[in-house]
Amino acid sequence: MFELRLNNNKTIPLKWGTWAMKRFCELENKSLLDLINILSSGAFELGTIVHIIQASAESGCKTLNQPIEFNDVIVCDWIDEVGGLSAIGLMRLVGYLQKMVS
């Protein structure tokens, strides 16, 4: 499980697995094949990155039996807080996802 560490010492658990992929496909209204193509292309749109983080965070909460008390707006705030789209933690997560499909 990955962690997104915010400035206020809060940690957001990120888990990418089957449930997160299912949730991502729901958020994007895409098929599993679409997801695989998106991940292998490496050309992510902004909304796609937000949905990857959102699905991963929701999956992390479900695994840890924690309530899901955030939405896409809060996810965007998290991304901003950790340094934006080029933040090291986010880049590691994206790299991990790309390795899964290659």
Interval 5-33 mean pLDDT: 93
Q: Could you tell me the pLDDT band of residue 98, with boundaries at 50, 70 and 90?
A: low
How much is the pLDDT for 5? 87
Query: In this model, does residue 93 exceed pLDDT 80?
Result: no
How much is the pLDDT for 1? 81
pLDDT digits (tens, 9 = 90+) for 30-78: 999 998 888 888 777 889 989 999 999 999 999 999 999 999 999 999 9
How much is the pLDDT for 38? 84
Positive or negative torsion for Cα 78, 83, 85, 88: negative
Query: In this model, does residue 82 exceed pLDDT 90?
Result: no
CA distance 3 to 97: 15
Q: Could you tell me the pLDDT band of residue 88, with boundaries at 50, 70 and 90?
A: low
CA distance 78 to 63: 20
